[in-house]
Structure 1
Amino acid sequence: MKWFALSLAAGIILTMLLSFVVSSDIALFAGFIAVISLLIYSDRRKVKREGIIVIRRTQRGRNFIDNVAKAYPRFWRVLSVIGIAVGIILMFVGSLVLITQAIAVIEGAAGGGVKLLLPGPVAAPVNAPGVFVVPWWIWIIGIAVVIIPHEFMHGIMCRIDGVKIKSVGWLLLIIIPGAFVEPDEAQLKKKSRMTKLRVYAAGSFANMIVAAFVLVLAFVVTLAIFSSGAAVPYGVNFGGTLNNTPAYAANMTGSIILLNGIEIRNQTSLSNALEKYSAGDTVEVVTADTYFISGIMPSGIVDKSRTQRYNLTLAAHPERAGAFLGISGVGQSILLNMNMNVYATVSVLLLWIFLFSFGIGLVNLLPIKPLDGGLILEELVGGRKRVVKVISVAMLALLLFNLIGPLFLV
């Protein structure tokens, strides 16, 4: 506890000093690295280095895993069967996704390929070929939510079939943290195929459960926010304007909130308002500045304090009778009656926890040994090592192509 307090204090001091010369994101990131480094140093006698990996093994946590496994053995066995089925299905789904993304890279499609998720001193996610850099604090939370249930589930499935857990602990690959439950591999190899499938599929299945839980949680949170009036549908946003149309000529932006004094709440109210006018009529359109959040909850947040007014002469609709503004990619905007930073943080964090859980869980199920998917494949083909090796090499090559191909082909 003493070392933790000292490390935290040193990290805070470093962050404060660096904030005078670099951005706050870089300063916070450096402070976090300093805290982790000092904590590892304080525990150096129990930490081992294996190549570029730092590992700390402990016996703590084994009894907890034992107690949970023994308390509900029937439940865990039923859940494990579902996990095996889900794992096998997702192994094929993940392989198909990898193949289709590789084809997209070859065809030069933007956004083709898969990406590494790495932490960095950035305020918002940065998308680049082969890599997605996310704010370090989002990355740390995302990785923790992935690793803890993943390894915990591996441990439970080991124990319900009597496989000894030698140790639990954490590891660090440069700045990338991890955790592990270390089973007795010799004992596990002697177990039945069902036991091994149960153990291998458990981790990624736990990640999928977390991903599903996040979707449900996001729905419940969104419902609660809108039910309480903390957010209400308000205005219509649009992705762009069509060439040679009234909206294009006026360089209209934002979300439409008024049309000739009529309040626009959604797309239906906008359509109803336009039906009252014909091509050639002049209308006043009021738009509000709109902020889009890359989160899991509804976005398009309007700022009623920042508005623009446009006097537009309506055009004829090119496909049907009626007036036409010339906007495209329309969507629902919302008005927040709560702190936007809180809403945005919850929305973004839930999105990235979902993406981390689902994405890493899916990659781990790819038929590439020694990933869990490769171990599952080995059991499915009856231990035929040549088959496993050929498929593993092919899928690994495909994965690497997805990562580095966009650097050259897209």
Structure 2
Amino acid sequence: MNVLWYYVILVVVIYILAILFRDRLKVDVYGLILMRRTKKMRGWIDYIANLSPRFWRWSMNIGIPIAVLGMAYMVYTIILSLQYMFKTPTAALLLPGVDIPGSPIFIPIISGIIALIILMVVHEFGHGIMARVDGVRIKSIGVILLAILPGAFVELDEEDVEKAKRSVKLRIYAAGSIFNIALAAIALVTLFVISTPFINYAFQPDGLKIISVTPGGPSEGVLKDGMIVTNINGYQISDKDVYMNVILNKTKPGDTLTYVTDQGTYTITSTGQPNNASITYPGFRTEERLVVKPEVSRVYGEIIPWFVYYLDDVGYWVFALNLMVGLFNLLPIKPLDGGIIFEELLGYKIPEKIGKRKIPEKIAGKKLPEVFVRRIVSSVSVVLIGIVGFMIIYGVVPGIIKMF
């Protein structure tokens, strides 16, 4: 049974328990949305906000233009992705442990779950910290579940937000994504400076390890996660570069592939890749099998190198997921933070003329009428939701269907 079924079963159990014991568990049920609020941890947010209000305020003043640039970059990227969609689907489902055929991303389950938890905490604490820096009260903190998609939230006092200056609102709204992007940058620097150099020093490749057999692929039911591949069709496999050379240059779709592994010899018939039928697709994902170098093992033993290795893996996914989700959240789509930022910026001021048409004096130089702003934001949101939805349906749904 593939991991997606475990998610479905877990979510069904959560929904049943939430509905049956909503009062005891203090869960609010709104159709498919489950919400659990708490007033705990507000003290932590206050403490962090009060460490250096000036630092938080000025760092987020820099963060606002970064958020706007990120918004523009994401709109450009989404539109640009359309022309490549039919050749190479780029959409992916960010569920740790779920390997969707044709997906460009596979997130390991343990590292992925840790990284997602860190992502949500940092994002919502970012909103909460900036709110408290400028005196906006926090009503509650909580978690949310929509179908199989988890999330977190910080519920701010609406009256305080309404009374706040536009600059304060922009800092609060931008904070979540900026905190994510900042954490991604910190993780990337840490990887380059500390963990990755040590891993290159401490480990050496020794074959290829299967990390996921893709459901519905040619290897399903034959090969298994954790197998170590040492030979394919007579070619010795020492690392991933050798493996890719064999797959791309020595085989073609429809070929019989014989794998020599640490658990025996197995044969499969390859197919074409879901996104490129001309390239051999064995139906599993791999990573280099690493072993600690003898000279390193004599000095550090086995525990320390492997601890750094798994820490590096978590660090990589903290970087990747915070960057991806942080930028995606800047899309000018309501209710994403980018949509709210876009609405605030759009409602600031308008010129005396739009083209050759003169704007009435009572409107010119003043706030753009809220109805007009909302119509523009709604229109942009609908268009971008349509594009993103199409990319998900075209790039992910066919792969999910193949899994069942």
With the shorter chain as reference, the TM-score category is 0.5 to 0.7
Instruction: Give the alignment's TM-score, normalised by structure 1.
Output: 0.62
Query: How big is each residue's C-alpha offset from its partner over 1:233-286, in whole Å with a ceiling of 9 and x where there is no partner?
Result: x7999xxxxxxxxxxxx9533249xxxxxxxxxxxxxxxxxxxxxxxxxxxxxx
- Which residue is 1:49 aligned to? 29
Q: Which of these residues, 46, 63, 67, is aligned with residue 83 of structure 1?
A: 63
The runs of 5 or more residues in structure 2 that have no matched partner are 209-232, 240-259, 263-283, 348-367, 400-404
**1:264-321 Cα distance to aligned partner (Å, 9 max, x none):** xxxxxxxxxxxxxxxxxxxxxxxx999xx989xxx745679xxxxxxxxxxxxxxxxx
TM-aligned CA deviation for residue 372 of structure 1:
0.3
The letter of the residue matching 1:187 is D
User: For 1:316-361, what per-residue CA distance to the aligned partner results, in whole angstroms no more than 9, with x for missing partners?
Assistant: xxxxxxxxxxxxxxxxx99985579756644443332222211111
Q: 2:72 matched to which residue of 1? A: 92
The aligned runs of 1:11-410 (5 Å cut-off) are 41=21, 44-105=24-85, 108-110=86-88, 112-119=89-96, 122=97, 126-128=99-101, 134-219=107-192, 220-226=194-200, 229-231=201-203, 252-255=235-238, 300-301=288-289, 338=302, 345-382=310-347, 384-406=373-395
The answer to which of 364-373 and 217-226 deviates more is: 217-226
Contact residue 53 and residue 133 of structure 2 kept, 8 A: yes
CA RMSD of aligned residues (A): 4.2
Give the secondary structure class of the aligned counterpart of 1:117. Answer: coil
In 1, Cα distance between the equivalents of 2:15 and 2:195?
Answer: 33
- 1:222: Cα distance to partner? 1.8
- Kindly provide the amino acid, as one letter, of the partner of residue 358 in structure 1: L
Name the SS for the 2:236 alignment partner.
coil
SS of the aligned residue for 1:141 comes to helix
Aligned to 1:271: none
Identity among equivalent positions (%) equals: 34
* Contact 1:29–1:136 under 8 Å retained in 2: no
After TM superposition, give the deviation of residue 72 of structure 1 in Å: 0.7
Q: Which residue of 2 aligns with 1:270?
A: none
> Residues 35 and 303 of structure 1: is their aligned pair in 2 closer, same or farther, counting only changes over 3 Å?
same
Number of aligned residues? 303
1:179–1:131: structure 2 CA closer, same or farther, 3 Å change rule? farther
Unpaired runs of 5+ in structure 1? 1-21, 238-249, 257-287, 305-332
AA partner of residue 390 (structure 2): F
What is the SS of the residue equivalent to 1:369? coil
Conserved 8 A contact 2:90-2:104: no
State the SS of the aligned residue for 1:170: strand
Between stretches 40-49 and 197-206, larger displacement belongs to: 40-49
Q: Is the 2:115–2:321 contact (alpha carbons within 8 Å) kept by the matching residues of 1?
A: yes
- The 8 Å contact of residues 231 and 335 in structure 1, kept in 2 or not, is answered as no
**Distance in 2 of aligned mates of 1:32 and 1:406:** 24
Distance apart, 1:24 and its partner CA: 10
Distance 1:35 1:397 in 2: 30
Secondary structure of 2:141's aligned partner: strand
Amino acid at match of 2:92: K
Q: Which moved more, 1:190-199 or 1:173-182?
A: 173-182
- What is the Cα deviation at residue 386 of structure 1? 2.3
Matched residue type, 1:191: A
Alignment TM-score, normalising by the size of structure 2: 0.63
Measured against aligned partners, the alpha-carbon deviations of 1:121-140 in whole angstroms (never above 9, x if no partner) come to x5xx5133579664543443
- In 1, the alpha carbon distance for the partners of 2:131 and 2:6 equals 42
1:160 partner amino acid? V
Give the structure 1 partner of residue 244 of structure 2: none
1:391 is displaced (CA, Å) by 1.4
Using the alignment, how far apart are the partners of 1:400 and 1:99 within structure 2? 13
